[in-house]
């Protein structure tokens, strides 16, 4: 029987999420493609309990994570039942809906029909009574925003979730959604955009919109799909994501220019006494509007490395300029 580390809250730093009563760990764990049906279940379990032992209290899933869709939630549900159930009240568990899940016109996007049905199916797969956070995973260009926000409000009022989140909304879409949710009486808790040294679009207004509305920000892909780790500094390992058939990272992304930049960034990290991954996480957390950085992992050791970034998000002006110059050189 799993017994959690008694010292699990001693080294992790927790940040308040917007203007809410919730605090999130600076490092959160996402259950993406390493928790699908082909994943090693023992390794998946070890990653989850290792993370919790290190103070990671937030686990982020989505209905379509796998592959196939739904399998990451089922994997999480099995570990929840076998090991983490006694600690449910210490955990923030989130899921999402917004991508294809079943055939026909009601299995995708942002209708009330889809969102409510998807939330209920996700709860069954996870073996939970409620989610702490339920997200709309991406904006729907056809469904009225009022319908989508009303569905999210209903999900909270019906007890299926405690808080609402949004993902991949641009600043204008987010502003409109935040306003509607406030008017409905269920303010948005958090927004989940991509953000890393190599992908900075959120700096063009979204971070400001979230801060002005009291909405927290949790960054996904803060390690740029694994680029901002030591995994590729000496080329492409055969067993890596880029060395396989992943649609998210391939050999084409590892140009000579990119490898040169990654090696220079690694030198900066070394001078800080950090790994490249730790520095990349600290860089996203340097911004006051950011609540947490959401990592993916394929082993407990990777989680142990990343968690060491917590509490060390300070940078000198010289370091920030060097990082900006290097990232900017990639165009």
Question: Is 290 contained in some domain?
Answer: yes
Which ranges of the chain would DSSP assign to H, the alpha helix? 41-53, 71-79, 112-126, 145-157, 171-184, 206-212, 256-271, 276-285, 300-307, 317-328
Euclidean distance between CA atoms 139 and 142, whole angstroms? 9
Question: Is 68 contained in some domain?
Answer: yes
Question: Is 256 contained in some domain?
Answer: no
Question: Is 330 contained in some domain?
Answer: no
Question: Is 173 contained in some domain?
Answer: yes
Please state the domain count of the chain: 1
CA dihedral 78, 83, 85, 91 (to 10 degrees): -100
Render pLDDT for 170-188 as a digit per residue (tens, 0 to 9). 999 999 999 999 999 999 9
Euclidean distance between CA atoms 11 and 104, whole angstroms? 48
List the structure tokens of 271: 């001078």
Q: Is-contact 24 291, C-beta < 8 A?
A: yes
Render pLDDT for 14-63 as a digit per residue (tens, 0 to 9). 999 999 999 999 999 999 888 999 899 999 999 999 999 999 999 999 99
Reduced DSSP (H G I as helix, E B as strand, rest coil) percent helix, strand, coil of the chain, to 5: 45, 15, 40
- The CATH number linked to 27 is 3.20.20.100
**pLDDT band at residue 245, thresholds of 50, 70 and 90?**
low
List the structure tokens of 266: 């690694």
Residue 243 has pLDDT above 70, yes or no: no
Question: Is 318 contained in some domain?
Answer: no
Decide: residue 107, CB within 10 A, 0-12 exposed, 13-18 middle, 19+ buried.
middle
pTM over 0.75: yes
Count of beta carbons in the 10 Å neighbourhood of residue 192: 26
pLDDT for residue 29: 98
Residue 292 has pLDDT above 80, yes or no: yes
List the structure tokens of 93: 């568990």
Question: Is 114 contained in some domain?
Answer: yes
Structural domain boundaries, residue 218: 14-233+283-312
3-state SS assignment for residue 155: helix
């Amino acid at each position: 029987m799993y017994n959690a580390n008694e010292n699990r809250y001693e080294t992790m730093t927790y940040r308040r999420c917007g203007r809410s009563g919730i605090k999130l760990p600076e490092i959160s764990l996402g259950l993406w493609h390493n928790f699908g049906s082909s994943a090693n279940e023992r390794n998946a379990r070890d990653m989850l309990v290792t993370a919790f032992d290190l103070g990671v209290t937030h686990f982020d899933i989505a209905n379509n994570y796998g592959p196939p869709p739904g399998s990451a939630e089922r994997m999480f549900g099995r570990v929840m039942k076998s090991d983490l159930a006694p600690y449910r009240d210490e955990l923030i568990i989130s899921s999402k809906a917004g991508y294809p899940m079943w055939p026909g016109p009601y299995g995708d996007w942002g209708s009330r029909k889809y969102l409510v049905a998807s939330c209920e199916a996700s709860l069954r797969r996870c073996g939970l009574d409620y989610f702490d956070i339920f997200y709309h995973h991406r904006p729907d260009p056809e469904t009225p925003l009022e319908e989508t926000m009303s569905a999210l409000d209903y999900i909270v009022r019906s007890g299926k979730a405690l808080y609402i989140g949004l993902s991949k909304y641009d600043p204008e879409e987010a502003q409109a959604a935040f306003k509607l949710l406030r008017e409905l009486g269920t303010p948005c808790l958090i927004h989940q955009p991509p953000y890393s040294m190599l992908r900075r679009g959120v700096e063009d207004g979204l971070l400001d919109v979230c801060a002005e509305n009291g909405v927290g920000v949790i960054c996904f892909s803060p390690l740029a799909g694994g680029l901002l780790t030591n995994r590729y500094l000496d080329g492409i390992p055969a067993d890596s994501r880029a060395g396989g058939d992943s649609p998210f990272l391939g050999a084409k992304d590892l140009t000579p220019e990119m490898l040169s930049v990654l090696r220079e960034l690694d030198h900066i990290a070394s001078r800080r006494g950090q790994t490249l991954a730790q520095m990349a996480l600290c860089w996203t957390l340097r911004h006051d509007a950011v609540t947490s950085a959401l990592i993916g992992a394929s082993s407990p050791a990777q989680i142990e490395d990343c968690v060491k970034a917590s509490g060390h998000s300070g940078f000198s002006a010289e370091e920030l300029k060097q990082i900006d110059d290097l990232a900017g050189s990639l165009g």
